[in-house]
Amino acid sequence: MRAVVTGAAGFIGSHLCEHLLAHGDEVVGVDALTTFYDPARKERNLAPLLGRDGFALHRGDLLRTPLRPLFAAADVVYHLAGQPGVRGSWGDEFAVYLRRNVLVTQHVLEAARDTRLPRLVFASSSSVYGDAETYPTPETLRPRPVSPYGVTKLAAEQLCETYRAVFGVPAVSLRLFSVYGPRQRPDMAFSRLITAARAGRPFPLYGDGGQSRDFTYVGDVVAAMRAAARSGWTGVANLGGGSEVTLRQIIALLGELTAPVRVVPGPARPGDARRTAADITLARQAFGYRPVTDIRTGLAAMVRAEAPLDHGARPAVGHPHGYWAPR
Ligand code: NAD
C-alpha cells in the first residue's frame, strides 16, 4: 500500500513508518518538526528511515502543504501529526492546540474528500473520556474531557465522523491510551522516569501515584493502525494495552529494571484524569486487535533503547524521485 504518515518524525509516527516499510508499504512522511520538544530528537527518529527504499519525507507544516497531490496517489493516510500533552493545553497555548489538532485535521479531511481517499486513520486519544463513569470504558460512553487537549482531540475525531457521515470519507479514529516504548516523547512519564533514574535525579510525582493508566506498547499500536487501515471498518475504537497499572507500580518496576527512583511528591496537575482503562472489544471485533506486549516486557525494551544516543542526526531531505518511488 502507498501510505502518507503525518507526524512521521514523532514518537509514534516514526514507529509506524518503520512498521509499514517492514511490511512492504511505501511511505511518504510529512512533518514540520515542531519545537514542542527538541527537534534534534525528531531528526534522530527520522535518521534510520531516510534513504530507505520506499520512504520519502516532506518537511513542512500541514496547513501550508498542498495535500491533494500527496493524497491523490495514496491508498491510506495515517494522520498522527498534532500537538500532544494535556498539561500544556491551558491558557494561551490553547491556540496552538486548536491549530495543530483541529484546523490541521479539517485541512486533512478536505483533501481526503476531494481526492476520494480510500482510507484515513486518525490518532485520537483516551483524553476524550476525561474522568469516565465506567471502567473499562466502552466507546459508547459520553466523552467528557478534563483538559483542553482532550477537547481538541474530540473535536478532531468528531470532524472525522462528520466527513465520514456527510461525504463518505472512510475514516477510522483510534483512541490511543498512554502509549510507551522506545523514543517516547520526553514530556511523558516513562521517559522522564528513566532519565531521572539514570541521572540519580529526583522525579516530581504529580498526585499520590495512585493514578492509573492503561499503558499501551507502541509496537501494538502501530500494528493495530495498519490492521485498521487494511480492514473495511470505519468508526471510532479504543486502543488500550489490556492492563491497568498505577504510577507507583511503574516506579517500583523501573526500580527493578534500572535504579531506584527518588520521588518528590507534589500536587496533582489540572487536566490529568485519575484513571484510564479501555474496553477493547470493538477493536478486536473490527480489525482483530490483540495487544501482545505486557508492561514488564515493554518497559524493559524501552529501558534498553533509552541508552544515550550518540549517532548524529542526518538532515531531513525530500526524496530524489519525488514523494513516491516508482512502483
Ligand atoms: P509527537 O509530538 O512525538 O509527534 C507528533 C508529530 O507531529 C511531531 O513530530 C510534530 O513535529 C508533528 N506536527 C505537529 N503539528 C504539525 C503540523 N501542523 N504539520 C506537520 N507536522 C506537525 O507525539 P506522539 O506521542 O507521537 O503522538 C502522535 C499522535 O498520537 C498525536 O496526534 C497525539 O495526540 C496522539 N496520541 C498520542 C498518545 C501518546 O500516548 N503518545 C496518546 C493518545 C493520542
pLDDT tens digits for 118-159?
Answer: 999 999 999 999 999 899 999 999 999 999 999 999 999 999
Ligand 1 mean position, distance from CA 83 (Å)? 6
Q: How confident is the model at residue 307 (pLDDT cuts 50, 70, 90)?
A: low
Ligand 1 pocket by Cβ (under 6 Å): 7, 9-13, 30-34, 36, 42, 61-63, 80-82, 84, 100, 104, 123, 125, 153, 176, 178-179, 185
Q: Ligand 1: which atom is nearest the Cα of residue 9?
A: 9
Q: Which tens digits make up the pLDDT trace of 31-62?
A: 999 999 999 999 999 999 999 999 999 999 99
What CATH architecture does domain 2-178+215-241+278-292 belong to? Answer: 3-Layer(aba) Sandwich (3.40)
Q: What is the pLDDT of residue 272?
A: 87
Q: What is the pLDDT of residue 102?
A: 98
Ligand 1 site-directed mutation target among 15, 44, 179, most atoms within 8 Å of CB: 179
| C-alpha grid cell, residue 295 | 508492561
Q: Which tens digits make up the pLDDT trace of 189-237?
A: 999 999 999 999 999 998 899 999 999 999 999 999 999 999 999 999 9
Q: Which tens digits make up the pLDDT trace of 263-272?
A: 998 888 888 8
Ligand 1 site-directed mutation target among 5, 31, 93, most atoms within 8 Å of CB: 31
Q: What is the pLDDT of residue 314?
A: 33
Q: What is the pLDDT of residue 271?
A: 83
pTM value is 0.94
Q: How confident is the model at residue 18 (pLDDT cuts 50, 70, 90)?
A: very high
Residue with cell 494522520: 79
Position 316 pLDDT exceeds 70:
no
Q: Which of 78, 129, 149, 217 is catalytic?
A: 149
